A = this chain, B = another copy of it.
């Protein structure tokens, strides 16, 4: 294997795949990046078994020669050292040459580096997905949907299925749901799609989706999603992102949502968030995050928290609308802030069914999002 390549393009592709390198892997070959050189270009591959990323560098981009392939071949190079070294090479050109025992010579300007490479035959093969189950989604929408759900996945490995986000595609609507036992975030969107695509009850790890999100381009473009067996493949430009589908049945979250409410409140999103943020500062010191919301007859909402050691925070904000029974309810303010932070609507609607039942939060402008937060069952309520 021998080639010449432009350093910047090489570095960019290496950066992309590097997100799949885990420092905690127990499989030695996966500490490396696989380089496959063919007459048409170079493919880089990295994987931590949960996700795998491939990046393709064609020999030419927009008429500019990027790669000169002298001899095709493959090698696996130790990721950490290879990534940092390539970034710091002195010249804009890099030559890579694999000699015996996979010793790889890297030359750039005055620098000459020999890296002990690994046998590419030992590198696991990526799944071959049959592309008959493909849908396309805009990258901007995908990025939003990931941001608006993954924060609510469970971080506890005791129910692995809850560390994932549930995807459901039905009647041209894609719905994503994340929940742990104390909160839920759901987001849906209309997606125009011709073919019948079977994308139902697929659960993808929140962590993997966050990694995918970092790779999504800044400019909006179509992302192809291929589903097959236990893998999902996201295809963007020259990057392929593979992730495992989590095993197990996702709980039916629709049962959690009350069917009717006793109280409905509409309030300014930003004002409520700022006010809860101040109360949170105190509740965090108490390590409880408990903040109390009290709906009052004068159409105001009191946000408060207290700590025997530090003091008390109280604040009143005006409701835009407040109907139904007045109540006092305590909740985890961190969860509420997480939800308010990603709601893209000036007003929100909060629905209550008493102080012991789930709180439902929806954007004022549209019905594409729903958040649920379980209240704290406090007795000093």
Contacts and interface: CB of A to CB of B under 8 A. Distances in A.
A173 interface: no
A281 B88 contact: yes
B113 A278 contact: yes
Contact of A110 (B114, B115, B275, B309): B275
Contact of A313 (B78, B113, B281, B310): B113
A173 B316 CA distance: 61
Given A85-B278, A88-B274, A281-B81, A114 B317 contact: no
Given A88-B274, A310-B78, A315 B110 contact: yes
A72 interface: no
A111 B274 CA distance: 10
Given A274-B90, A277-B88, A111 B313 contact: yes
Interface in A305-319: 309-317
Contacts of A103: 311
B275 A111 contact: yes
A285 interface: yes
Interface residues of A, number: 33
A317 B109 CA distance: 10
A352 B115 CA distance: 31
A168 to B, nearest CB: 38
A116 interface: yes
A76 to B, nearest CB: 13
Interface string A295-326: 00000000000000111111111000000000
B316 A113 contact: no
Contacts of A114: 311-313
A8 interface: no
Contacts of A165: none
Given A111-B315, A113-B312, 19 more contacts: A80-B285, A81-B281, A81-B311, A85-B278, A85-B282, A88-B274, A88-B278, A90-B275, A90-B278, A103-B311, A110-B315, A111-B313, A111-B314, A112-B313, A113-B282, A113-B313, A114-B311, A115-B310, A116-B309
23 contacts: A78-B310, A81-B281, A81-B282, A84-B281, A85-B281, A85-B282, A85-B313, A88-B274, A88-B277, A88-B281, A89-B278, A90-B278, A103-B311, A110-B316, A110-B317, A111-B313, A112-B315, A113-B313, A114-B311, A114-B312, A114-B313, A115-B310, A115-B311
